[in-house]
Amino acid sequence: MFTITYLEEKILTREAFKLAIETQESCKVIFSSSQVEDYCHYYQQSKQPPDLCIIADSYNYLQIVQVIRAIKAANTHTYILLKSDAKFMKAICYLMKNGLNGIFFTDEPLIDLKKCARTRTRFNLSADKAKLITSNVLGEINISDLNYNSCPLTKNEINFIQQCSKDLSYEEIAIALAKSVYTIYGYRDRVFKKLQVKQRAAMVMTALRRNYIDL
């Protein structure tokens, strides 16, 4: 049996989501709650941690961090999934830095929860790959083949993106990194191609989402 816990503030949504999960083979919600304190207490008392924990982002993010830490203290191997519409990517990046290891988009079909948890899949993906996985209801795509955890960026390119997040001009970035402006433009062009973006802001957001840089 693949066991799941679920924390959701809205009762109707929580019950509907539980039913959707349990229609999958061998999945069972063993604990659900709307109270953060009750949820954390469950982990302190539980002798057998679940395979997967799902947290809704209807709570404030300090509460979600509290839940993440309670889960991690009980078992570092339990997979944590954020039930989110991903509107606030900066806040989601903050949660990922505090131990969140999954993002779930509510407007997509259910992903294969069992496979993702058992293979320790991380969801710090570009939006196109996240959509590809969450809509993969027929299972044609092998998630491990996407190679999104490998870092295609060099150290210099990562340093360049980090400077871009400070809202510096390219000339100022060249001075900060002790490089020529032409070298900086070269970094920009290569990073745009590797991250498949066309704008500087999109480059920084993509790098944040993939944990290449910190703010």
Tokens representing 40 are 């954390």
Task: Domain 2-145: give its CATH code.
Answer: 3.40.50.2300
β-bridge partners, 113? none
Which band of pLDDT confidence, cut at 50, 70 and 90, is reported for residue 25?
A: confident
119-167 tens-digit pLDDT: 554 444 444 444 444 444 334 444 444 344 445 688 899 899 999 988 8
CB neighbours of residue 2 within 10 Å? 17
Mean pLDDT of 30-53: 90
Average pLDDT, whole number, for the chain? 77
| Fold match flag (2-145 vs 155-209) | no
pLDDT reported for residue 82: 83
In the predicted structure, residue 177 carries a pLDDT above the cut 70: yes
Q: At what angle do helices 89-97 and 61-74 cross, to 10 degrees?
A: 30
The domain 155-209 is classified under which CATH number: 3.40.50.10420, 3.40.47.10, 1.10.10.10, 3.30.43.10?
Answer: 1.10.10.10
Please state, for a pLDDT cut of 90, what percent of the chain lies above it.
Answer: 27
pLDDT reported for residue 1: 82
For the chain, domain boundaries: 2-145, 155-209
In the predicted structure, residue 112 carries a pLDDT above the cut 80: no
pLDDT reported for residue 38: 95
Which band of pLDDT confidence, cut at 50, 70 and 90, is reported for residue 67?
A: very high
β-bridge partners, 54? 6, 81
